[in-house]
């Protein structure tokens, strides 16, 4: 995507399917594109501006992920104060994730119509308001409703984040940009339970939501200079400006060619249906959704039961048990930071060996370490807990499983970003559905599974599920990924 004008061939092909002749309608001499080294092209932005928008998305992701997990240590306390069962309190934790399943289906494609900037600010305000309401809830109904609505606003980061990264960073910089983008948000899954453990001990659980609302407001004010990064929208605006200034109607952008003859409602409906069309008809998206869904569900399975393990089996207090989430943070952060440089190195080496560039399947070999490390972590964590070995062994197992999951998921995201460069947000939204649904469902089953099988055999089952799906899928993508991409329908 060094020059957006390269999208002309796709646009012309799509137009010819409808009209039979693109040349009869459009004059390519008036196609508005970026020059090769033009500074206005988001791919050619200065490093300062690129890291500015990346940092804004990253900071927002930190708050959203922290809020998703911070209720875990306070479930018992909230259940007692709001007169609910443990299952209902756990539902308040999980319903946030349920919203993140469906929110991106709207937010992702809408950002490809109206741009990243406006949607980024609107969803930030939406999240801020409803997260604040959670802190004032005095009934389980209001708490669940506010968590659901806050989750909808929070879900923007799951589609916008990868969309912005795809907008401003080239394929050769994919690994490094992903690792640095993920560095801050991934700490949120551990920081949330740790902070909330001490909040519950020394104050009220309501400050979990009030404090994160203050943090979100601070980030909102600091990101007011967030720049629009979606190239097709920038080119459409440039074409509109040229038509206005010159009085000529021949200037056009590639996206306008693709939307020729469509009414505004039809454009909107086609964009909104894109994530579901990708999920229904694109095997690459289907495989990523299943793989990430299993990994994400298993991660939240571990998160929801982790604190309770140390309280029940090791006799620790709630606030001290929350400190063990640090090892999950260490695992996920280490996975992202190892994966990024390795991804770029492997991509460049494989590209030089094959003589080909811009081949998404060159990302696939890095899936193998993640697929193998994750089940090892589950087994170590489960059997150490089963026999009440020293807590350090349990922590090492948890760190390994989170490290393996992160390597696997980061590599998968890079693969899809390379496969759908112009519709990264819609592709991310499509995969987020199953991912969040499983993260919503799995924690509800953790108590039943461990009560029936114990930590040893329970985690052995999870390890078999993980490797039994991840390993064959890796081989399929490496062997037939390019073929599957070649046969799939256009993402437009």
Query: For position 168, what pLDDT does the model report?
Result: 93
Residues of the chain short of pLDDT 70, as ranges, are: 1-26, 303, 354-357, 488-492
Same domain, residue pair 220 and 325 = no
Do both 459 and 350 map to the same domain?
yes
Shared-domain flag, residues 153 and 217: yes
Q: Number of folded domains in the chain?
A: 2
pLDDT at 226: 85
**pLDDT value for 133:** 93
- In this structure, the number of other CB atoms found within 10 A of the CB of residue 80 comes to 11
Tokens, residue 189: 């899954």
Interacting residues of 129 by C-beta distance below 8 A, sequence separation 6+: none
CATH number of the CATH domain containing 404: 1.20.1250.20
Tell me the C-alpha distance between 400 and 83, whole Å: 37
For position 488, what pLDDT does the model report? Answer: 66
* pLDDT tens digits, one per residue of 303-319: 677 777 888 888 888 77
On whether both 73 and 194 belong to a single domain, the answer is yes
pTM of the model: 0.79
Question: Within 13 A of 164's CA, how many CA atoms are on the CB side?
Answer: 30
291 and 418 assigned to the same domain: yes
Is residue 309 domain-shared with residue 216, that is, in the same domain? no
Q: Are residues 206 and 288 in the same domain?
A: no
What pLDDT score does 20 carry?
39
How much is the pLDDT for 367? 93
The predicted structure's pLDDT at residue 15 = 41
Which residue range forms the structural domain that includes residue 220?
37-229
Residues 223 and 327 in one domain: no
For 270-313, the pLDDT digits (tens) are: 888 898 888 888 888 888 888 888 888 887 777 677 777 888 88
pLDDT at 150: 93
In order of 72, 120, 125, the CA distances from 384 in angstroms are: 22, 43, 44
| Total residues found in the chain within this entry | 492
User: Looking at residue 377, what is its pLDDT?
Assistant: 93
Evaluate whether residue 179 is within a structural domain. yes
**Domain endpoint, select from 175, 208, 229:** 229
């Amino acid at each position: 995507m060094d020059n957006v004008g390269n999208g002309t061939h796709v646009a012309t092909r799509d137009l010819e399917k409808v009209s039979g002749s693109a040349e009869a309608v459009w004059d390519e001499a008036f196609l508005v594109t970026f020059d090769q080294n033009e500074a206005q092209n988001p791919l050619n932005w200065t490093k300062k501006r690129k890291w500015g928008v990346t940092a804004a998305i990253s900071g927002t992701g930190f708050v959203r992920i922290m809020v998703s997990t911070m209720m875990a240590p306070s479930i018992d306390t909230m259940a007692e104060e709001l007169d609910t069962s443990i299952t209902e309190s756990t539902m308040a934790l999980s319903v946030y994730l349920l919203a993140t399943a469906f929110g991106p289906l709207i937010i992702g494609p809408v950002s490809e119509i109206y741009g990243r900037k406006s949607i980024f600010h609107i969803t930030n305000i939406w999240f801020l308001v409803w997260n604040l309401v959670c802190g004032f809830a005095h009934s389980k109904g209001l708490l669940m409703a506010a968590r659901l609505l806050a989750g909808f606003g929070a879900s923007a980061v799951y589609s916008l984040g990868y969309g912005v990264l795809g907008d401003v960073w080239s394929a050769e910089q994919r690994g490094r940009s992903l690792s640095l983008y993920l560095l801050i948000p991934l700490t949120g899954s551990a920081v949330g339970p740790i902070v909330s453990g001490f909040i519950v001990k020394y104050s009220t659980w309501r400050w979990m939501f009030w404090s994160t609302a203050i943090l979100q407001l601070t980030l909102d004010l600091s990101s007011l200079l967030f720049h629009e990064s979606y190239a097709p929208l920038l080119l459409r605006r440039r074409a509109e400006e040229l038509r206005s200034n010159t009085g000529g109607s021949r200037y056009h952008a590639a996206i306008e060619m693709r939307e020729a003859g469509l009414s505004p409602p039809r454009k909107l409906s086609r964009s909104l249906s894109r994530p579901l069309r990708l999920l229904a008809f694109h095997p690459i998206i289907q495989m990523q959704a299943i793989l990430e869904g299993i990994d994400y569900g298993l991660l939240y399975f571990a998160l929801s039961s982790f604190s309770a393990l140390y309280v029940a089996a090791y006799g620790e207090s709630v606030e001290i048990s929350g400190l063990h989430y640090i090892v999950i943070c260490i695992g996920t952060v280490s996975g992202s930071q190892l994966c990024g440089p390795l991804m770029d190195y492997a991509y460049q080496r494989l590209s030089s060996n094959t003589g080909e560039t811009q081949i998404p399947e060159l990302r696939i070999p890095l899936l193998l370490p993640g697929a193998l490390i994750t089940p090892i972590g589950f087994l170590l964590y489960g059997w150490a807990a089963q026999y009440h070995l020293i807590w350090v062994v349990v922590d090492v197992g948890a760190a390994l499983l989170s490290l393996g999951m992160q390597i696997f998921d980061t590599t998968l995201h890079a693969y899809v970003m390379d496969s759908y460069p112009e519709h990264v947000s819609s592709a991310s939204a499509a995969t987020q559905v199953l991912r969040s649904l499983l993260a919503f469902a799995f924690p509800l089953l953790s108590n039943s599974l461990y009560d029936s099988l114990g930590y040893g055999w329970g985690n052995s089952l999870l390890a078999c599920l993980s490797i039994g799906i991840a390993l064959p899928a890796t081989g399929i993508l490496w062997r037939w990924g390019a073929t599957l991409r070649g046969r799939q329908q256009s993402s437009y």
